[in-house]
Amino acid sequence: MANFDDVKKYILEAEGEKTSLLVGDYGGLSKFGISSRAFPSVDIKNLTWDEACKIYSDNFFYKYRLDLIADFVISAQVMLLFINMNPDHAARIVQLSLNDLGCNVNCDGILGSMSISEINKYPGVRERITVNSIKYYLALVDSDTSQLTNLRSWIRRVLLTA
């Protein structure tokens, strides 16, 4: 099963450690990928890596049971999706990707036991998640051109685990 210590190196590589406030970024001020919009009570400017890891482990990794995914790279891939978009959308991308491989999971936006079980049966799901994530981000930019400035960083994050 996936271990948070193996996954967190992907988070740091994807999110970086600089405090940033990008024009057009829905999340607002962020550091280590922790945004003021998602975590308004967190002092983003003074956030440490250890504090960010605690937020990630409690609010994403264990909450969404990503520790039950056997392949830690797939776990990291799914974790990055949960971090960077609405968790409902992230789960639907994973479920759609499983169905692309012939599974029959309900695309309900909940990464439940059946979805996780199927992830563990189909290691090829990683490639499908990559493709479907990129399609999602392209569609998002098509519907809101102000997000074009974020597209490169979103694609870069997706490709970290490809």
Residue spans of the domains in the chain: they are: 4-159
Burial of 114 (C-beta count, 10 Å sphere; 0-12/13-18/19+): middle
CATH of 4-159, picked from 2.40.50.140, 3.30.429.10, 3.40.50.300, 1.20.141.10, is: 1.20.141.10
Q: What is the pLDDT along the chain (162 residues), one digit of tens a residue?
A: 889 999 999 998 888 776 555 555 666 788 888 988 899 999 999 999 999 999 999 999 999 999 999 999 999 999 999 998 889 999 999 999 999 999 999 999 999 999 999 999 998 999 999 999 999 999 999 999 988 988 998 999 999 888
The encoded tokens of residue 156 equal: 């870069």
**What confidence score (pLDDT) does residue 35 get?**
87
Q: What is the CA radius of gyration of the chain?
A: 15
Residue 25: predicted pLDDT? 61
- Provide the pairing of β-strand 34-35 with 30-31: antiparallel
Q: Are 32 and 12 in contact (CB under 8 A)?
A: yes
CA–CA separation, 99 and 118 (whole Å):
10
